[in-house]
Amino acid sequence: MTAPVTRNRLIGLALAVAVAVIDQAVKMYVIGPLALREVGRIDLLPFFDLTYTENRGVSLGMFQANDMETRWLLVLVTAAIALVVLVWMMRERLLADIIGLALILGGAIGNIRDRYDLGYVIDYADFHIGTFRPFLIFNIADAAITIGVVIILARSLLVRDKDETKTGDTPRGEPSDA
């Protein structure tokens, strides 16, 4: 039987792979059978459409990669960040922290694959309220990264891990009752 920490890390790796695979499968579906690249937009619901966009930048379209050098620089930088997230995830012990990092890692892998293969990231999810768009057009990878970041931030700001002490030990700085 594997230790709980090992199990948690394996769950995290599986989740990261699942996010990347689902992201790529949906992107293939929207540009393949749905032909979203050709039609440009498919109205689905009063508040949600599929709208084809090629994102050549990173977050919020910043740092546009309009030439080969910048494209490969973005691939390299985002791959380095993904590697840091992987190392961080493999050092964590708690499943909640690992899940947040796995979502970030899986989303990063999905978007890195697009940028590596195509030179841009395919975005298609267009949430809106009338003409108001609270988000830019995004994809599953972007959503996973955002949810992962929210989990990590919420846990770091709201959850305080208790000091692990052995029976009879007192936490540092606290006087003993004896």
Are 32 and 129 in contact, with CB atoms under 8 Å apart? no
- Residue 119 and residue 13: Cα distance in Å, rounded? 26
- Adjacent-strand bridge partners of 51: 41
- Residue 19 and residue 144: Cα distance in Å, rounded? 7
- Residue 30 and residue 176: Cα distance in Å, rounded? 64
**What's at 178, amino acid-wise?**
A
- Residue 45 and residue 42: Cα distance in Å, rounded? 9
Residues noted as catalytic = 123, 142
- Residue 38 and residue 52: Cα distance in Å, rounded? 9
Q: What is the DSSP string of 85-109?
A: HHHHHHH--SHHHHHHHHHHHHHHH
Backbone φ, ψ for residue 67 (5° rounding): -135, 170
